[in-house]
Amino acid sequence: MSDYMRKGALLIISAPSGAGKTTICRKLLARRKDLKYSVSCTTRPPRPGEKNGKHYFFLNREDFKRKIQRGELLEWAMVHDEYYGTPRHFIEEQTKKGLNVIMAIDVQGAMSIRRKHPAAILVFVLPPSMDELKARLAGRRDASEVVAKRLANSRGELAAAKDYDYVVVNDDLATAVEQISCILTAETLKTSRLDPSSASFVTALA
Ligand code: 5GP
């Protein structure tokens, strides 16, 4: 059966800063050709090594607000005092082709996507411990007040894990990646995701 008989799924990954969501996404994308990454827009400045159009679309506040007004964002939220949002067009284009789209977005964004797309798969990634989270955050080259703000916000984010469909602990990276890949595979094979036009194909086999 062609993959085109199923509309692509939306795989949403949320985690507190430093839990390893970026690395997990990178590894997943490397092993799954059916998965595409949704590059978000943000008003926060790029970190060293981050490229416009690859890691984020880096925008000033005026341009970001213009995108909101034009309805170009599927969702947007204020996170750590900066704007972040998901471009609508890319997701529509990829899922129509039967491809799955992964989005690394915060809790507010995840809940807003779920309201619009109830079939979205919501995965929350937990750090193995708070000490480990602190150590990973301290290892970044962010300013100390940025790290402090992110740590403070992480407590609120962790409380939201119970509202997700799946919770994965990122203790061992390879295991976490394998688990999320299995979740995606199982979810995309659900009968409810069959395109209505392929119902005749299934009936013909019966
Ligand atoms: P960071 O600045 O560390 O790259 O991201 C900060 C937070 O913003 C993370 O929780 C990240 O998942 C979230 N984020 C990134 N892109 C989006 C987006 O398009 N929408 C929403 N709602 N959150 C996002």
Q: Tell me the domain boundaries of the chain.
A: 10-38+100-205
- Answer whether 25 contacts ligand 1 (Cβ < 6 A): no
Instruction: Evaluate if residue 84 carries a pLDDT over 80.
Output: yes
CA 38-41-47 angle, 5° bins: 100
Cα-to-centroid distance, 163 and ligand 1 (Å): 18
Q: How confident is the model at residue 26 (pLDDT cuts 50, 70, 90)?
A: very high
Q: How confident is the model at residue 1 (pLDDT cuts 50, 70, 90)?
A: low
- pLDDT, greater one: 28 or 19: 28
CA 53-55-56 angle, 5° bins: 60
- Mean pLDDT along residues 2-20: 85
Q: Report the pLDDT value the prediction gives residue 3, as an integer from 0 to 100.
A: 47
- Answer whether 179 contacts ligand 1 (Cβ < 6 A): no
**Percentage of the chain surpassing pLDDT 90?**
70
Question: Taking the model in full, what pTM does it have?
Answer: 0.91
- Answer whether 157 contacts ligand 1 (Cβ < 6 A): no
pLDDT tens digit string along 133-190? 888 888 877 778 888 888 888 888 889 999 999 999 999 999 999 999 999 999 999 9
Asked which of 57-61, 128-132, 185-189 is least confident by mean pLDDT, the reply is 128-132
The atom of ligand 1 lying closest to the CA of 41 is 19
What is the assigned CATH class of domain 10-38+100-205? alpha beta
Q: Whose CA is nearest to atom 17 of ligand 1?
A: 105
- Answer whether 108 contacts ligand 1 (Cβ < 6 A): yes
Q: Whose CA is nearest to atom 14 of ligand 1?
A: 105
- Answer whether 79 contacts ligand 1 (Cβ < 6 A): yes
Q: How confident is the model at residue 199 (pLDDT cuts 50, 70, 90)?
A: low
- Answer whether 158 contacts ligand 1 (Cβ < 6 A): no
